[in-house]
Chains A and B, each alone.
Chain A
Amino acid sequence: MTLTFAHRVDSAALSRRAFLKASATAAGGLALGFVVPGRSEAAGTESAALNGFVRIEPDGRIHLTIPMVEMGQGTYTSLAMLLAEELEVKLDSIVPEHAPPNNALYANPILHEQSTGLSASTRGFWLPLRQAGAGARIMLVTAAAQRWKVDPAQCTAKDGVIRDPSGQRSLAYREVALAAAQIKPPALDQIKLKAPGQFTLIGTSPKRLEAAGKVSGRTQFGIDAIVPGMKFAAIAISPVGGGKPKQVNQAAALAVKGVRQVVAIDEAVAVVADHTGAAKKGLEAAAIQWDDGPNAQINSQGIVAQLKAGSETPGVIARNDGNVEQAFAKAARRFDAVYELPFLAHAAMEPMNCTVHLRKDTCEIWVGTQVPTTTQSRVAALTGLPKDAVILHNQFLGGGFGRRLEPDGTLLAVKIAKHVDGPVKVIWSREEDIQHDIYRPYYYDRISAAVDISGNPVAWHHRVCGSSVVARFAPPLFKNGLDFDAVEGAAEPPYAFPNILVDYVRVDPASITTGFWRGVGPVHNVFIVESFIDELAFAARQDPVDYRRRLLSNNPRALAVLNLAADKAGWGQTMPAGKARGISLQFAFGSYLSQVAEVAVDANGKVKVERIVCAVDCGIAVTPSMIEAQVQSGTIFGLTAALRGAITIKDGRVQQSNFDSYPPMRIDEVPRIETHIVPSTENPGGLGEAATAIVAPAVTNAIFAATGRRIRKLPIEEV
């Protein structure tokens, strides 16, 4: 059994060890948080409770410190709903607040770290936030009952107001918050949570809590941080990894009006000025020449050749059920294919940036990051300051997609800040952002299947070959040479194969750093598995949906989404010439999805995706409108990459640079996207990335159905 994120869902473990701790707030309210004994920092101390999740203040506002960051996925709203459901307050009385870095207080129970990613936020906090809400409600009701000298069990709470058994008297939460702070919080295993049938807020679609600031330009992203006296830096990073600045025309840069300083560090040059306009002009005037270093010979072709060679050797076993070798030997027919996926950049709308004020004994940072605690530790190591002298003000993120799981932008800003007197805001140009990303790995996978005489698969062998993100990003999780993320979606396809072998060959190309990209492992593997299943279906002359159905007899939730998507899309109804449908299916991030794509291919082979129908079973649908938004978002993100996303390397340099050479989809190209949610009482699954992973094979399978052209190498369009 492979270790996948789905298996690491561990919120029950949190509830076994943790307990609620209450205290009074400075303003005279109730603060309630979790204490997890044994966690390194601040565990069991007073600050644990004071900084905890929830503060109910005498002004009636309920402050919820949101451990996860908001980067568009709607987590501020969805997590607030979990609290409000059990606390019995109106959602709009909750004020979400960014959490400071603190693993002891704010670790995601799945990821064991204060890290926002892997579609783990709702899954991770599903239990703890409802427990916090219920715990606070119980304490508030108890405080009111004590004041009235009645049985708390006979009191009711709704919309932040407690009523006595007669219904005659009422107290608002704010009136008893301070008294409640004196009451011992209930033990977590004594808290009875609502059954799904009793939910009044979960399952509805309230408006996003943070939307008003975002439509009026008031929301502060990292790039918007304003620190009195700050300067602005534009940077150029060596275009070849490992290169260094060789020549910098400092005088020319300093001659530009508003330029204050030129800072050259190992791998980059920064021009510091009164505003970014001057800094950019100064950077251009500096006419930097680079010593490219040892990596100037690297090209995409060489990297692919290296991966191809790697794919020809056996890898580390991720899964080995039955006897694949024997099954292949005896099979009626076999099929073999090679699938390739390119390097990808994240290209979040908010370019990389970071504001730093480095003083003798503190380092203050303003940045939007998915990994506040890692960033804090890495800055502490870089500056030699103790961790709590690194003060990180997390901000709204103008998109993350995995890019902001990396602290490199902050570390670079701190290196520059070491040379600057006072605060400095470092903003990367879009070109720097794309050319110095940490890329989704290039994958070169081999896949083979043996089929019986009726064309059903009897053996399946998928060899994943690419660089290991996990080995670099989280070395302790890279066990026995296996990158569990690289094989996620491959090792456990939704289908029953009597014999299945999945192995992993790690090939890390020199000088190209790879990282998590929205959809992570599944975004590559689902494309391959779902394309190859389609190949087998067509070879067996069977309908692709029927073919899949037969392999899903033990997987009812997968079968249900497949049927729903096919049904809603009108699968089987004839399409005009040049148009066709394709289907795909996945189980990833704890959610089941199936998509049907309708494409039109013109005489020149130009593909237009006209319609996407997506069926989703993500367990309890906490916020259906957010699920629809994430299906649209994920689909468009994945579709952009599938159609034309590719980062290529020539002479050690990334060849793409801005939205002209790394073109995003625009409003005139996007398909209609329909989302159909399967009602469920299962615990919620993740959804921020699922649709990104599923869309490519639906589209390429449709292209095959329309044209007979099988796409085994992404992107679809030539680059």
Chain B
Amino acid sequence: MAYVLKINGASHTVDADGDTPLLWVLRDVLQMTGTKFGCGMALCGACTVHLDGAATRACITTIDSVGDAAITTIEAIGQSDAGRKVQQAWLDLDVVQCGYCQSGQIMSATALLMSNAHPSDSDINDAMSGNVCRCGTYNRIRDAIKLAAGAKP
């Protein structure tokens, strides 16, 4: 059946089985490829999007479970204050390497800062340990989150 998804402020009607993971609807049906596939089992965070502002793994979120929650993806995260600051901090500290995990890292970091303006190291661990980076950019990710938090008014 058809589902209506609110993604980055626009409505999209998608005709797919209700148990289809949101990830594949985003990537394959809507061709929004910024959200990545890494594990398919909520083990790596590459597919992280926001559902009403909360970091959510799109690979295990079926489209029939989304309801009318607002979905935000990496493509639009820079439109929020927190997202823009996180992206800028990532650039300032040259966090990325291969870059494949970074959409998910930025989505998780932004969700963290939206709910906690000044996270401690252990807050960062809690929010970010679901996001794997095989390139090992973790040290700079931590620094960049702190930089983004410090830059907040």
Contacts and interface: CB of A to CB of B under 8 A. Distances in A.
B40 A429 contact: yes
A337 interface: no
A220 B31 CA distance: 12
B132 A659 contact: yes
A631 to B, nearest CB: 10
Interface in B25-84: 25, 27-29, 31, 33-41, 43-44, 46, 73-75, 78
A455 interface: no
Contacts of B136: 632-637, 665, 670
6 contacts: A214-B102, A215-B96, A275-B16, A665-B136, A668-B125, A673-B139
Given A215-B96, A398-B100, A399-B100, A277 B25 contact: yes
Contacts of A278: 16-17, 20, 24
Q: What is the interface residue range for chain A against chain B?
A: 35 or more
A122 interface: no
A211 B93 CA distance: 10
B99 A637 contact: no
**Which 9 A/B pairs are nearest by Cβ-Cβ distance?**
A217-B34, A636-B136, A398-B100, A72-B98, A214-B99, A72-B97, A277-B24, A217-B74, A275-B28
B91 A211 contact: yes
Interface of B: 16-17, 19-21, 23-25, 27-29, 31, 33-41, 43-44, 46, 73-75, 78, 87, 90-91, 94-103, 106, 124-125, 128-142
B66 to A, nearest CB: 14
B98 A396 contact: yes
A667 B16 contact: no
B91 A670 contact: no
Contact of A258 (B16, B36, B100): B16
Interface of A: 70-74, 205, 207-208, 210-221, 223-224, 226, 232, 256-258, 274-278, 280-281, 347-351, 396-401, 427, 429-430, 625, 629, 632-637, 658-660, 664-668, 670, 672-673
Given A72-B97, A668-B129, A275 B20 contact: yes
Nearest to A657: B41
B21 to A, nearest CB: 5
Contacts of B23: 277
B84 to A, nearest CB: 10
Given A211-B94, A659-B43, A218 B140 contact: no
Contacts of B28: 232, 274-277
B35 A217 contact: yes
A448 B103 CA distance: 49
Contact of B142 (A275, A397, A667): A667
Given A632-B136, A667-B128, A217 B73 contact: yes
Given A275-B16, A349-B44, A397 B141 contact: no
B17 A257 contact: yes
Nearest to B35: A217
B101 A349 contact: yes
Most buried by B among A205, A664, A666: A666
B17 A658 contact: no
Given A207-B91, A277-B28, 14 more contacts: A71-B98, A72-B98, A215-B102, A217-B33, A276-B27, A280-B24, A348-B134, A349-B98, A349-B133, A350-B36, A398-B99, A400-B98, A430-B39, A664-B134
Contact of A223 (B36, B125, B130): B36
Given A215-B106, A399-B134, A632-B139, A258 B74 contact: no
B97 A633 contact: yes
A713 B49 CA distance: 41
A127 B134 CA distance: 31
A216 B31 CA distance: 15
A72 B21 CA distance: 28
A258 B16 CA distance: 8
Contacts of B102: 214-215
A226 B29 CA distance: 11
B127 to A, nearest CB: 9
What is the interface of chain B mostly: helix, strand, loop, or mixed?
Answer: loop
Given A226-B33, A277-B16, A667-B142, A430 B41 contact: yes
Most buried by B among A217, A219, A634, A668: A217
Contacts of A625: 94
A325 B142 CA distance: 54
A277 B20 CA distance: 6
A275 B134 contact: no
Nearest to B63: A277
Nearest to B73: A217
A629 B35 contact: no
A349 B21 contact: no
A281 B75 contact: no
Given A217-B74, A226-B33, A668-B125, A349 B43 contact: no
Given A276-B27, A277-B24, A629 B33 contact: no
Contacts of A220: 33
B97 A629 contact: yes
A567 to B, nearest CB: 22
A350 B98 contact: yes
Contact of B87 (A215, A399, A429, A632): A215
B91 A658 contact: no
Contacts of A256: 17
Contact of A666 (B19, B34, B98, B129): B129
A281 B94 contact: no
A215 B36 contact: no
Given A216-B78, A218-B34, A211 B96 contact: yes
A208 B96 contact: yes
A349 to B, nearest CB: 4
A138 to B, nearest CB: 32
B133 A276 contact: no
A575 to B, nearest CB: 22
Most buried by A among B35, B129, B130, B134: B134
Nearest to A634: B136
B34 A658 contact: no
A180 to B, nearest CB: 34
A659 B44 contact: yes
B129 to A, nearest CB: 5
A661 to B, nearest CB: 10
Given A223-B37, A632-B139, A667 B44 contact: no
B101 A281 contact: no
A676 B125 CA distance: 26
